[in-house]
């Protein structure tokens, strides 16, 4: 895989910085060249209600990418992308260069990275991708690019997709390396080798029902098998109902057992039920999610190591890893969205253990985002998360109140 990645980097670099096709002895090396990018400055405040000073982080994400068709073909193309995270202050602990800082953590360290570099081969509605790439499967509960953080999570992989049959989408990927959001030099690894296979198949039988089945065989961690039913049900011209019902189970790793001791086992399950509505822009939803905990010998807590975890169980990120006693998350959401006024929504969470009767706490989240008038492709966001702990739960990190606030601008551009 490392050889494949090197090949993809060389090929993507052939795109060059120019939008003009390069000619060599009558052969067009690059055609349909395009450039795309993103500028995303953000302020993030974290108040953990403890002896550590508040974090006040000013950071910026800069993304520059270029892609093109190769060698005069319509079936072979390449894309390369660099991402830079810069710090405008150091009043926070970033788990890398500022790891000794006496402030709360904001996991956006200063770094520059090749975040994507791949070659695509297409025939009909089948595509084969070699190289470093982003992946966002379904709602990112199991596999995601962690796009909320300034440096995304990427994958060195070979990926095959096909949608020849109307409504049927097939996905398969072999991953050799995961490139995390963290920078080199800190207590968190910036990348790690893995032997992971991902399979995902979804079939939209009708707007009211899409069935998705998946198998994620994650290195030496565990195998996850799951099924989801989702859909949108129009009740009348002004009211639509949407739903998600999903179940997954985890078992011992079958693909790679060499990286851990033989006695590391997996035995866990998860389910999620959510019903929502949209009535003339007024949106509401109720949901219940359960991640199993350790009930006895041989059990493990349900985990999703490749997921985009931010926002799955509260934006305060108190449950980035599942507690040993598991997690039950009951949610209520209410909001409004329209083309002119943007999106506002508030979400209430009640967190309980799945094993026993531990009350972890409650959380209220709210967000407003909209396009900035007068500047094409520029958006703005204000967001807050307030976690109120049950101080009797006795679990480190979960028994501390936490407030987080974000203010962000996001500008994207593309010549394509």
Summarize pLDDT for 338-375 with one digit per residue, the tens. 988 999 999 999 999 999 989 999 999 999 999 998 89
CA 23, CA 31: separation in Å to the nearest integer?
A: 10
Average pLDDT over residues 301-317: 95
Residue 90's pLDDT band (cuts 50, 70, 90): confident
Q: State the pLDDT at residue 21.
A: 47
CA 80, CA 119: separation in Å to the nearest integer?
A: 9
CA 40, CA 36: separation in Å to the nearest integer?
A: 14
Between 8-17, 280-289, 331-340, 377-386, the lowest mean confidence (pLDDT) is in: 8-17
What is residue 10's three-state secondary structure?
helix
CA 191, CA 264: separation in Å to the nearest integer?
A: 22
Residue 264's pLDDT band (cuts 50, 70, 90): low
CA 151, CA 351: separation in Å to the nearest integer?
A: 29
For the chain, the structural domain boundaries read 1-37+64-206, 243-395
CA 42, CA 379: separation in Å to the nearest integer?
A: 12
CA 65, CA 114: separation in Å to the nearest integer?
A: 10
Residue 279's pLDDT band (cuts 50, 70, 90): very high
Q: Which residue has the tokens 């931010």?
A: 310
CA 124, CA 338: separation in Å to the nearest integer?
A: 37
Contacts of 222-226 with C-beta under 8 Å, sequence gap 24+, read 222/250, 222/251, 222/252, 222/253, 222/266, 222/268, 222/300, 222/303, 223/250, 223/251, 223/252, 223/253, 223/254, 223/255, 223/266, 224/142, 224/248, 224/249, 224/250, 224/304, 225/249, 225/251, 226/142, 226/270
Average pLDDT over residues 144-164: 97
Q: What is the DSSP letter of 372?
A: P
Burial of 373 (0-12, 13-18, 19+ CB in 10 A): exposed
CA 155, CA 175: separation in Å to the nearest integer?
A: 6
Contacts of 243-246 with C-beta under 8 Å, sequence gap 24+, read 243/274, 243/275, 243/276, 244/139, 244/272, 244/273, 244/274, 245/272, 245/273, 246/141, 246/271, 246/272, 246/273
CA 120, CA 136: separation in Å to the nearest integer?
A: 17
What is residue 25's three-state secondary structure?
coil
pLDDT digits (tens, 9 = 90+) for 33-55: 999 999 999 999 999 988 788 99
Between 97-106, 166-175, 273-282, 402-411, the lowest mean confidence (pLDDT) is in: 97-106
Checking if the pLDDT of 262 tops 70, the result is: no
What is residue 235's three-state secondary structure?
coil
Q: Which residue has the tokens 């449950």?
A: 319
Enumerate residues 6+ apart whose C-beta is below 8 A from 264: 220, 253
The mean of the pLDDT values for the chain is 90
């Amino acid at each position: 895989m490392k050889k494949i990645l090197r090949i993809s980097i060389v090929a993507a670099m052939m795109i060059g910085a120019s939008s003009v096709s390069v000619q060599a002895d009558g052969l067009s090396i690059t055609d349909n060249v395009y450039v795309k990018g993103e500028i995303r400055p953000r302020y993030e405040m974290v108040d953990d209600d403890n002896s550590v000073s508040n974090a006040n982080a000013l950071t910026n994400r800069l993304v520059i990418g270029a892609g093109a068709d190769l060698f005069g073909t319509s079936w072979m193309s390449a894309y390369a992308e660099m991402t830079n995270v810069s710090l405008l202050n150091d009043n926070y602990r970033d788990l890398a260069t500022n790891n000794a800082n006496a402030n709360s953590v904001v996991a956006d360290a200063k770094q520059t990275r090749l975040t994507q570099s791949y070659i695509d081969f297409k025939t009909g509605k089948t595509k084969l991708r070699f190289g470093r790439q982003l992946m966002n499967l379904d709602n990112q509960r199991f596999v995601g690019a962690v796009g909320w953080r300034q440096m995304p999570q990427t994958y060195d992989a070979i990926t095959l997709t096909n949608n020849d049959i109307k409504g049927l989408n097939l996905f398969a990927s072999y991953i050799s390396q995961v490139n995390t959001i963290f920078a080199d030099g800190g207590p968190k690894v910036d990348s790690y080798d893995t032997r992971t296979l991902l399979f995902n198949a979804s079939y939209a039988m009708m707007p009211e029902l899409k069935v998705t089945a998946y198998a994620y065989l994650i290195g030496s961690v565990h195998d996850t098998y799951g099924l989801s039913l989702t859909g949108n049900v129009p009740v009348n011209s002004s009211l639509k109902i949407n739903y998600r019902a999903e179940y997954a189970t985890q078992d011992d790793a079958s693909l790679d057992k060499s990286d851990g001791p033989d006695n590391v086992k997996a035995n866990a399950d998860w389910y999620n039920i959510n019903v929502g509505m949209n009535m003339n822009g007024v949106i509401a939803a109720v949901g219940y999610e359960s991640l199993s905990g350790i009930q006895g010998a041989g059990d493990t807590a349900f985990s999703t190591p490749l997921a985009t975890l931010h926002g799955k169980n509260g934006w305060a990120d108190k449950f980035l890893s599942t507690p040993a006693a598991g997690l039950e998350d009951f949610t209520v959401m209410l909001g409004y969205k329209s083309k002119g006024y943007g999106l506002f929504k508030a979400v209430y969470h009640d967190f309980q253990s799945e094993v026993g009767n531990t009350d972890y706490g409650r959380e209220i989240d709210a967000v407003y985002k909209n396009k900035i008038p007068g500047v094409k492709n520029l958006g703005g966001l204000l967001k807050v998360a307030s976690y109120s702990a049950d101080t009797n739960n006795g679990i480190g990190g979960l028994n501390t109140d936490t407030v987080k606030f974000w203010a962000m601008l996001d500008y994207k551009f593309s010549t394509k």
